[in-house]
Amino acid sequence: MQYLYEKRAKMVGNIDKGLLWLLNVHDDWIHDQYGESHIYYGTIYSSKGPFHPLSTTITGYFQDSDSSRWLKVKNGVARIHDENNQTAWKGQIDDFLKVTFKTGVYKSITNRSLLLNTHHYSSKTVSK
């Protein structure tokens, strides 16, 4: 069986929940008939590696076919709003990418009390 990096899918969820779940494009969503759901058709792109063609627990990015907007998906679930209550949909996939640099700063500590985390030791007692 050939594993995939992208596939047609849909993101579905109840309006009140604030979450969307990834489904295969041909799978039924019981709330389709009630009109109280968000349903977005598009393509899911894996950011972690290949996945089974029927998998719905994919981590990656979903692009809506109608608006061409992007949504970040983790294990098949996406939030409609971020932690600041702003829309989680982005106009470009580049908006999700962050570049950070880690640099190491090394300090030399010569004072023994600083090395011992300000603990002073004697042969009889330990005091702070």
Q: Rounded to two decimals, what is the model's pTM? A: 0.70
pLDDT for position 109:
57
pLDDT for position 47:
82
pLDDT for position 86:
74
* Cα four-point dihedral sign 49, 25, 95, 66: positive
Successive 10-residue mean pLDDT values, the chain, 128 residues: 87 83 84 70 91 92 95 93 78 84 66 52 47
In whole angstroms, give the CA distance from residue 40 to residue 23.
10
In whole angstroms, give the CA distance from residue 63 to residue 40.
9
